[in-house]
Amino acid sequence: MNRNIIAIDGPAGSGKSSVAREIAGRSDFFYMDSGAYYRAITYYILSIYKKEKSIDNFKDWLTQQDINLFLNRIVLDSNLSKTEENKTYLNLLDVSKEIRDPEVTEEIKHIAVVRDVRDFVNKNLYKLSASYKIVMDGRDIGTEVFPDAYLKIYLTADPEVRARRRYDEYSEKGVNIDFNQLKEEIIRRDESDLFRKIAPLKKADDAILIDTSNLSKNIVINMILSRL
């Protein structure tokens, strides 16, 4: 059992990121968003695509390339701070804001299913776990990345609720986005995550299931803290 890891998995908008941050803030664990690394890789490849390619379909172009060529150009890092928001670094540059762009969110599904990408990200996460006690959220943390995690939580919620949460997050950041479109994207993302061949989204057999649809964040946090 790896006592350095608390794994919080679940679909987009289930509250796992905000809950994981609070758990870290109220314990001796550091917070790490595993999805930030996938976002950083997606952001990097999108940047190359926009600069060098003129074809219309990002997915078709990506499947024709050797993904390792991109991974060999990428260095990822995170600050894991207890006093400020975590920052994600791509080749020494802070891309914390850029990787949250809706375009990155839309295209990440094409990157996250590539085995070489997942292996690359996992190696970076293993390095962090060797030095820090981490509460980490994602979609396969408790099943694929750290199956020996000390505590495993699976958060879920109704798609309508999750879409509203994500909409409010964008609104707070001044990003204008259509709610119905966002809901459709979340449903498509669910289907993609649940049925992908590599590391699909699923609850680990020994994970604690929490439906957050009608629960306040504070109640969810206290439910998890009581297990530490």
pLDDT digits (tens, 9 = 90+) for 61-79: 665 566 788 899 999 999 8
Contact 78, 88 (CB under 8 A): yes
In CATH terms, the fold of domain 2-221 is Rossmann fold (3.40.50)
Name the helix (H) or strand (E) containing 156: strand 149-156
The pLDDT > 90 percentage for the chain reads: 57
- pLDDT tens by residue, 70-111: 899 999 999 888 877 889 999 999 999 999 998 898 888 788
The mean predicted confidence, pLDDT, of the chain is 89
Contact 86, 78 (CB under 8 A): yes
Contact 13, 218 (CB under 8 A): no
